[in-house]
Amino acid sequence: MANIITRKSVMTLFSSPTCPMSHCARFVLYEKSIAADIEFYDPNNPPEELLELNPTGVSPTLIERDLVLYDSRIIMEYLDERFPHPPLHQMDPVSRANSRMVIKRIDQDWYQMLEEILGSGEKKASRAKKLLRESLLASAPIFAARPYFMGDEFSLIDCAIAPLLWRLPSMGIDVSTPDDAINSYAQRLFRRPAFKRSLSNAEKEMTEFPK
């Protein structure tokens, strides 16, 4: 228990080294240069100290003093509000609400298919790969329209998309287009110092860093 009491005095993110949702939260942590401990663990065998604070043992879990958060999107929102500079959400309520809706759509469409790919048998995963590729390619004009996804400034939306795009090569999903809009956007995110620092050793092996 002493370790838990000590840990609660600092911010700690318990994270699976391969979970894309955990990767999103890590990306935000580094993008905002937040001082926090990142504890990698096997989500199939969560450490006892985590289970005492969060019995689900789900990844990611953020601990700060008496606060325990275990939803990636809530963690991302909390970090952006707790450490407001630089902001990763636009300040006006309408823009923030629209951003939340975009992330919700990304989760329902793309991340749901990613989860199916990672957790299903070969036949079902193959179908999900095809659907994910087609859905991303259908969105290529959105990736091409502005420097970041539906915006001119880097935002939480980009933090939500980058870990998914990073995993595509390891799954054999090619999203090349004549103008290479999706890959160009992805490389723009992957070159960010915060993204490079957010990668676990296991994630570094998924694809190559851009030159």
Query: Which residues are marked as active site?
Result: 19
Nearest alpha-carbon partner for 18 in 42, 34, 52, 1: 42
Q: Tokens 């420097």, residue?
A: 147
Is residue 128 classed exposed, middle or buried when 0-12, 13-18 and 19+ CB atoms within 10 A define those classes?
A: buried
| DSSP letter, residue 12 | E
Separation CA 37–CA 15 (nearest Å): 10
